[in-house]
Amino acid sequence: MGAIKLRILDDFNRRMLDKDLDDHFEKVSKTAKKLFKQQVQTRRAHNEKAIDEKIKSIKVHLAREEVVERERALQDMHENEEKAAKRLAEIEAKKEAELKKREDQYKVRRD
């Protein structure tokens, strides 16, 4: 009778221990899932912030490049205008020289 009692008590204790361990495992797994979800959400939020910051820095960089390109284009345009003005002055000087030369030739022929 005592041996049967001990067996039943042993069986009962083993079942209770298994039940306690199962309950503990469920609590731990739920907690682990919650922590993993929080970690994923935190990582997503951090990634979104990093992506936003990167986009902002790219926009700033592109704006700076645009300003630099615009300044270069203006400088090139001014240089081209100066070259064109010099060339026009040379052409005008040649025209005047040709006209004066023709007038002189005409005067020589006329005289």
Average pLDDT of the chain is 87
More confident residue, 6 or 100: 100
pTM over 0.85: no
pLDDT digits (tens, 9 = 90+) for 6-38: 677 777 777 887 888 888 889 999 999 998 888
* Cβ-count burial 36-75 (b if 16+ within 10 Å, e if not): eeeeeeeeeeeeeeeeeeeeeeeeeeeeeeeeeeeeeeee
Give dist(CA 4, CA 23) in Å, integer.
28
* pLDDT above 70 for 101: yes
Instruction: Give the model's confidence band at 83: pLDDT under 50 very low, under 70 low, under 90 confident, else very high.
Output: very high
